[in-house]
Structure 1
Amino acid sequence: MYNKQPIGFIDSGVGGLTVVKEALKQLPNENILYVGDTARCPYGPRPAEQVIDYTWEMTRYLLARDIKMLVIACNTATAVALEEIKAALSIPVVGVILPGTRAALKTTKNNKIGIIGTVGTINSGSYEAALKQKAPQTTLASLACPKFVPIVESNEYYSSVAKKIVAETLQPLKHKQLDTLILGCTHYPLLRPIIQNVMGHSVTLIDSGAETVGEVSMLLDYFSIANAPQTAEQKICEFYTTGSANMFEKIADSWLNLTELSVTHIDLGGNIHAS
């Protein structure tokens, strides 16, 4: 029995596109709806209660579109809102933290793992708790990188400014003898080449968002809700942003390489209008 309902993805901005990119590759038959709350990005510095409220607003918007699964493609939102939303909904809800920790533990050889993320994600201790629960012997080094998300959201992630900020920010991790680094924010894979260059090629970078798609795939099979093979014309892939549709489209276009992007500006509090 095939299920045509879309999978919903939510993020504080464009970062979740790194998860969608992997979904387009691994799950080519699935219909996708994406909401990026660009107008209120970044979520990292915000109080947890506010992040929970915003995450619920995006969730309700997609529930009204009859999604069959929700992917919280934002580490900050996963850290503070996943359990509450999971408990309240009857559809599967997937976050990005646990898949990232599992991949890191599978990858590390010396049990020295670094985690970079927003202030909210790092302060929540979610990655550390998950890693220590599974592997208490692991040595962890966490670092908040508050300047990374604004670089990506302003489409500056290829710039010399980005290189300078990443190099300066990651200095505290350089001498920790890490062999694995979790990119604990879905915006960070857009900075991946710079991060890799700074950390060196002996450090394996874990894209928590990309790892999440493997879990989505497994759940589609487990609940028998995968879609049938479909042509490109049949496929639905729609993007909604609370910020500038033009800026979102530029970043999505360069990152996803889709021929025709459907990007619509929305106001989560009320009316929707195309941009």
Structure 2
Amino acid sequence: MNNQAIGFIDSGVGGLTVVKEALKQLPNEKIYYLGDTARMPYGPRPSEQVLEFTWEMTSFLLSKGIKMLVIACNTATAAALDDLREKLAIPVIGVIKPGSRAAIKSSKNQRVGVIGTEGTIKSGAYKRTLHEKNPNLFVTSLPCPEFVQIVENDQYESKYAEQVVAETLGFFDDKNIDTLVMGCTHYPLLRPFIQKAVGDKVTLIDSGAETVNDVSTILDYFDIAAKREEETTHEFYTTGSSDDFNEIASGWLGLENINAKTIHLGQGD
């Protein structure tokens, strides 16, 4: 047993969708979350820069004594997962493989769509992972860069968001997909609009939620799950405005007194 925290990192607030699932599935676990909102979005950035930023976030949480790291960001997973796993002594979990496994299990007609940031789609990580597990799949990928900004600007329930999602996902109207991977942890905040745009017959895969299943399994495998405590104190950090972060996080997680702290990382912009 191990009562140290699990670390979660993301380019902004999107990884909170993973945290929400973790709070539900793993109520005994302490969570430390860091969102790099000052430097988001990661999607358009070069993979080398995303790797650098991911290491900076990781180093901060390592200084807090975390027992496991969850890269709750698809772009960062694509750019940094292998490097972090090779160099860190603690377990490191990404969001791409869990989402891919769930999509393969879900699809009946072997036609899967993937939406994500420019960086995630350009990396080909989902298509590669899906084909490694099932080479017969027909995978159609689409970058949706505006979605992240909509969520980060707290517009994810607006008419504007609904319009942008509908116009963007019209791309899939003639693709005959039966499963769509939300390959960015920001996207579940837009889930009602995404579902409406692609239709009820398309199953949406939340990569972040699927990732928590892996976290649970690894906690048990390494025997590092936390014991029940009187009170579990979570910590939240952002590189941007703590007020903006607290507003979104409180609403989405249903927690009071988030009290995120603003920190500064590196010299990059």
Q: TM-score range by the shorter chain?
A: over 0.9
Deviation track 1:37-64 (CA, whole Å, cap 9, x = no partner) reads 0000000000011000000000000000
Instruction: State the match for 2:247 in structure 1.
Output: 250
Equivalent-residue separation in structure 2 for 1:43 and 1:236 (angstroms)? 29
Instruction: State the match for 1:172 in structure 2.
Output: 171
Letter in 1 for 2:248: I
Q: How does 1:123-202 map to 2 (within 5 A)?
A: 123-202=122-201
Instruction: State the match for 1:36 in structure 2.
Output: 35
Equivalent-residue separation in structure 2 for 1:72 and 1:269 (angstroms)? 19
Equivalent-residue separation in structure 2 for 1:221 and 1:211 (angstroms)? 16
Instruction: State the match for 1:74 in structure 2.
Output: 73
Q: Measure how far apart 1:217 and its partner are.
A: 0.3
Instruction: State the match for 1:267 in structure 2.
Output: 264
Equivalent-residue separation in structure 1 for 2:148 and 2:218 (angstroms)? 29
What secondary structure does 2:32 align onto? Answer: strand
Q: Measure how far apart 1:202 and its partner are.
A: 0.1
Letter in 2 for 1:39: A
What secondary structure does 2:141 align onto? Answer: strand
Letter in 1 for 2:10: D
**Contact 1:34–1:240 (CA under 8 A) maintained in structure 2:** yes
**Contact 1:237–1:262 (CA under 8 A) maintained in structure 2:** no
Q: Measure how far apart 1:259 and its partner are.
A: 2.2
Equivalent-residue separation in structure 2 for 1:245 and 1:83 (angstroms)? 31
Equivalent-residue separation in structure 2 for 1:175 and 1:86 (angstroms)? 39
What secondary structure does 2:265 align onto? Answer: coil
Instruction: State the match for 2:116 in structure 1.
Output: 117
| Gap regions ≥5 residues in structure 1 | 271-275
Deviation track 1:65-88 (CA, whole Å, cap 9, x = no partner) reads 000000000000000110001100
Q: Measure how far apart 1:172 and its partner are.
A: 1.0
Deviation track 1:127-181 (CA, whole Å, cap 9, x = no partner) reads 0000001101111110000100000000000111101111111111121111100
Letter in 2 for 1:151: I
**Contact 2:242–2:259 (CA under 8 A) maintained in structure 1:** no
**Contact 1:13–1:38 (CA under 8 A) maintained in structure 2:** yes
| Gap regions ≥5 residues in structure 2 | none
Instruction: State the match for 1:238 in structure 2.
Output: 235
Q: Measure how far apart 1:236 and its partner are.
A: 1.9
**Contact 2:69–2:92 (CA under 8 A) maintained in structure 1:** yes
**Percent of aligned positions that are identical:** 60
Instruction: State the match for 1:24 in structure 2.
Output: 23
What secondary structure does 1:170 align onto? Answer: helix
Q: Normalized against structure 1, the TM-score is what?
A: 0.96
Deviation track 1:191-211 (CA, whole Å, cap 9, x = no partner) reads 000000011000000000000
Aligned residues: 267
**Contact 2:29–2:225 (CA under 8 A) maintained in structure 1:** yes
Equivalent-residue separation in structure 2 for 1:261 and 1:103 (angstroms)? 31
Letter in 1 for 2:121: I
Q: Normalized against structure 2, the TM-score is what?
A: 0.98
Equivalent-residue separation in structure 1 for 2:32 and 2:114 (angstroms)? 29
Equivalent-residue separation in structure 1 for 2:259 and 2:66 (angstroms)? 18
Deviation track 1:207-259 (CA, whole Å, cap 9, x = no partner) reads 0000000000000000000000123xx20211100001011111101100012
Instruction: State the match for 1:273 in structure 2.
Output: none
Q: Measure how far apart 1:269 and its partner are.
A: 3.2
